[in-house]
Amino acid sequence: MGCLLSTPDVAGVTRRRQKNIGEIVVFVPGLRIPMPLDFAQPLGEGLSKSLVERLSALRTRMVVMAGQEAPMTTKPRRTATQHGGSTLADLQQALEDYLPVLLGLVENCNQLKHNLQFCWINQEDDGEETTMSDSWYELLSVLHLMAILSLSQANILLLRNTSADGYKSKILEECKRASVDILLKAAGYLDFAVQHVLPQLPLGLRNNLPLDLTEGVLKALCLQALGQGVEIQLGMAIDSIKATLAVKRRLACEMVKYWHQAQEYIMDLPLANGWGEKHKLFIQWKHVEAKAIAYYLHGLILEEGNTSAEIAAAALQAAEEYLKESRKACESFHMTLPASRNPPLWGASKYLAERIPKDISSKTINWDSQKHEMIMQLAPALPDFVLSLKPDEYQLPSMDPSWNDLQVQNLFPTK
């Protein structure tokens, strides 16, 4: 069995709290940062010196780069490294290099897997650090960090680039498509973590995981990635003259379901500090915004059909009410520390802001005397569509071959 140590305040260790994280398209929760670990003492007598040194070097590289990346994750501009890439891509590569060697501790089921104290700083929990002596916890933390980096990469792709003359250029179509692929990859990491890693942790450790690694938050993040993927697809459909109103409505209704499920997983969790509360508010905002555009598109289709004018008007009025609610939710999200701001509107959000105020007044009956609750009660139900986006199927890499030599020497049992 592993053991756990949670340390809210550690002498000499200070967690950097960001006050402003700039523009947000894809919400990126605070990174979980690994703390240094000395492999030599707990593993020195059980593993070869070269393997211990390799484990140590790969994890130290990850620790250093994660610490450098933490304050930069949500910034729109990346700093190029000596290799010509971004620090974000380098950290992702460091994690991928570390995984095969880490799997030797995870998969060999040997006595050494509990000798190490894996310590990570948390962002969405009040506890500053959580330490567990179980390599499955380390694997879970690595997969979570890989997912968060993917969300950050998608956010950077979608932020409008500022040209030299200060004007905002359009988001390139290929960036939108690439961001959808990256969001599905993030969802794949999270889905694998929930399905295949969490169940490997003893119940006692699972009950003491930091909040940002609990099943509810992981599932909410997975659904968030899928919901934002559909939002981007909807934005591209809105910009396409070939996409029918029915296609746009279907995407909007799917988006509502993704955000509704995400909110169900996270709403009752005690995420009370800055990052955790901001995460909750983001999901609430996007859920309400999705309802606004779904009801708007549904109302337009009802107008074209044989439905009564009153029912179509009720759907459009509900869209207007949800738009008002989403603006308030958006403001609450951005004001919550660490503060953030919206980039210039684009895609579904721009369509929503421009079309609803313009169309509603001319297409709805006089609801001035009606209260919000009555409007919501009279609104027709949205169509129920099967969700189309699924997480990418992620598989762990093969265990590093250096562990096979140990099995040949009968130091550890083979499976």
Please say if the pLDDT value at position 413 is more than 50.
Answer: no
Q: Which domains does the chain have, with CATH numbers?
A: 1-160+170-210+397-415 (1.25.40.280), 214-384 (1.25.40.280)
Mean pLDDT of 265-289: 87
Q: Which two tokens stand for residue 319?
A: 């869209």
**Distance between CA atoms of residues 384 and 373, nearest Å:** 22
Please say if the pLDDT value at position 9 is more than 60.
Answer: no
Instruction: State residue 183's pLDDT score.
Output: 98
Q: Which of 1-5, 71-75, 268-272, 373-377 has the lowest mean pLDDT?
A: 1-5
78 DSSP assignment: P
Q: Which long-range contacts (CB under 8 A, 24 or more apart) does 375-379 make?
A: 375/314, 375/317, 375/318, 375/321, 376/318, 376/321, 378/314, 378/317, 379/295, 379/314, 379/315, 379/317, 379/318
165 DSSP assignment: T
Q: Which two tokens stand for residue 327?
A: 């603006």
Instruction: State residue 88's pLDDT score.
Output: 84
In 21-119, which residue ranges form alpha helices assigned H by DSSP?
40-43, 49-69, 87-107
Instruction: State residue 177's pLDDT score.
Output: 92
Instruction: State residue 230's pLDDT score.
Output: 97
Considering the chain, what is the average pLDDT of its residues?
Answer: 82
Mean pLDDT of 340-358: 83
pLDDT band for 12, please (50, 70, 90 cuts): very low
The whole-angstrom distance between residue 335's C-alpha and the CA centroid of its chain comes to 20
- List Cβ neighbours of 84 (8 Å cut-off, separation of 6 or more): none
Instruction: State residue 13's pLDDT score.
Output: 39
Please say if the pLDDT value at position 126 is more than 60.
Answer: no
Q: What is the pTM of this model?
A: 0.87
Instruction: State residue 275's pLDDT score.
Output: 79
Q: Which residues pair with 118 in a beta bridge?
A: 132
**Distance between CA atoms of residues 322 and 215, nearest Å:** 29
**Distance between CA atoms of residues 34 and 210, nearest Å:** 13
Q: Which of 113-127, 209-223, 236-250, 305-319 has the lowest mean pLDDT?
A: 113-127
pLDDT band for 123, please (50, 70, 90 cuts): low
State what percent of residues in the chain have pLDDT above 90: 46
In a 10 Å sphere around its CB, with 0-12 CB exposed, 13-18 middle and 19+ buried, how is residue 128 labelled?
middle
pLDDT digits (tens, 9 = 90+) for 47-84: 778 888 888 999 999 999 988 876 555 454 433 333 33
pLDDT digits (tens, 9 = 90+) for 373-400: 677 777 889 999 999 999 999 999 999 8
pLDDT band for 186, please (50, 70, 90 cuts): very high
Q: Between the CA of residue 77 and those of 72, 215, 254, 259, 380, what are the distances in Å? A: 9, 32, 32, 28, 44
